[in-house]
Structure 1
């Protein structure tokens, strides 16, 4: 049986989406697959359980039978942290090992989703290098290319884990950087003994946020037809200037959400003259009938929030830039990109997997 540890050095690089894409393709190629998230620091409390939402989503999507306590066996909750700081004994390594043996039984390949950074998990003695050592799992590093500093990060990981680094997937590469990454960065890394399995372009659908996601994140109320909530938002703009300067300002970006005060109907109407996919009105002030009628005519949803504009902008900016994949359209698009840009044959060969 082969095991692959999917790692990253920062948040929101698409690590979970990569896990789903790999697992789906491996299933299509006839392999019996298993999945685990050995250590989770992103814990959600529900009325029925404490769980990792990404792990639960992948388990359901791939159709795995293993229970959640085995799929995500080590959850670092505030209670766990408190017990560790009090010096209480724990056996997280044994918990992880037992779960791995159970989930991997009768599987051809296991995909393990790593933590966001190499430091996470240190509190329970289960950092990425400790987990890969324990389970003898080679690592696929998923990284975002922003500049040549990204190469420094990849080389640092290689120096840290050595031969345990199986290779790298360079994700979310902006169009201006693609040729440089393909013709300069990739040959350089290959020359250093780091296989590059793929170069994934930044994709609008994947990097965008739906109106429903934004409304839920802000705790806002949507005015408009339910299907308008599926519209995608590429960016945010703030409406806080004078009306005369706002038109040229709003024209700079397409498919945007405009955040402005609920009492600024002048800016709202001007924003609707441009490529705007949502209005976010702050202060819990309902728009005028003129704004509502124009938004309805253009099928632009309006999100009402109670916070002031600055607080709303701060909260909204935290959502943008994250690659969340709990939508079938995003997942389908990412799988298509992975199939087109990832060298599965090379991965299978290095893992010792053979398609029957």
Structure 2
């Protein structure tokens, strides 16, 4: 049996989509596949019953007959972390629990796909970093990374050093078009010369990189004040706490962004409507903007969303939506399956015979 652990240099690099897409590709190649996420990190509650949606999605998409407590033996919540720091969690007991769950899930399988938690170092307080888990479960490690500039290679090399001989290779995910040439002609030969195989370069797709304004409005329970189309994608957020002049200079340099500001800041709202990279305004505190702002937004086709929550709460909720929410679903996994099929060395990662849909 082969075991592959999917980890990353940072959060939000697509571990769930890649892990499940690899499992689907392996099944197409005739392999019996299992899945596990030892540390549940994507929680909606700090305590109590596990609410990590990744193992639940895996169980559904892969047709697994497995208990949640095996798929996710450690609920890595803030409460758990606090208890571990106080010495109330035994690392040896936790490791044994992970190993026992793995053995249960791996019985009769040709391949086990292990999804890392958060990032490579998550779990260090109980000796369960992804590198520790790989050692515990005798897994090879697929390292995910983003790439936009040469300095990103530093993180890849540092992670490769932490993983050691278990490193299977690195997969660059969501790579912008402008970075492909550097990756192929300079970065890949450099990394392979340092003993780090590059197993894929997956292009960035906007539908997988952000959320639409409509999805954002739904998640924030926002009221849309304009009839402007809400199908534009948002990938980042700007906080409106600056003067109009400095805001305009900053806003003109951004793209695919939403401005989050108080509804009582018409000066900033007016400036934001002049910036082509601002795809929507999110006004907080329940303050309705002047009619002139709504009219200008309508004219420019910019949606204006009104929320009742304060600015800080809205920022946290919005960033969580973009980071980990609406794009984790069956459609995302299907699209990632196609991307990996076309842009990654699937055979080197999962093994098995080529087959399935082309």
Normalization by structure 1: what TM-score?
0.80
The aligned counterpart of 1:27 is 27
The aligned counterpart of 1:222 is 223
The aligned counterpart of 1:125 is 127
1:48-101 Cα deviation digits (max 9, x unpaired): 932322222232233322121111111134554455424565621221122111
Secondary structure, counterpart of 2:184 in structure 1: helix
Change (3 A) 1:134 1:228: same
Pairing 1:96-111 to 2, within 5 Å after superposition:
96-111=98-113
Measured in 1, the distance between the counterparts of 2:287 and 2:153 equals 48
Measured in 1, the distance between the counterparts of 2:11 and 2:274 equals 36
1:264-311 Cα deviation digits (max 9, x unpaired): 5576577667756433122312345666577678875432123555x3
Change (3 A) 1:66 1:296: farther
Asked if structure 2 preserves the Cα contact closer than 8 Å seen for 1:214 and 1:319, the reply is no
Measured in 2, the distance between the counterparts of 1:65 and 1:105 equals 12
Structure 2 unaligned residues grouped into runs of 5+: none
Asked if structure 2 preserves the Cα contact closer than 8 Å seen for 1:260 and 1:280, the reply is yes
The aligned counterpart of 1:51 is 51
Asked if structure 1 preserves the Cα contact closer than 8 Å seen for 2:37 and 2:115, the reply is yes
Normalization by structure 2: what TM-score?
0.80
Asked if structure 1 preserves the Cα contact closer than 8 Å seen for 2:201 and 2:343, the reply is yes
The aligned counterpart of 1:13 is 13
Measured in 1, the distance between the counterparts of 2:52 and 2:227 equals 28
Equivalenced residues, count:
350
The aligned counterpart of 1:354 is 353
Asked if structure 2 preserves the Cα contact closer than 8 Å seen for 1:235 and 1:320, the reply is no
Measured in 2, the distance between the counterparts of 1:184 and 1:19 equals 27
RMSD over aligned Cα, in angstroms?
Answer: 3.7
Structure 1 unaligned residues grouped into runs of 5+: none
Asked if structure 1 preserves the Cα contact closer than 8 Å seen for 2:235 and 2:322, the reply is no
The reply to whether residue 171 of structure 1 matches residue 170 of structure 2 is no
Secondary structure, counterpart of 1:171 in structure 2: strand
The aligned counterpart of 2:233 is 232
Q: Which of 142, 156, 161 is equivalent to 1:140?
A: 142
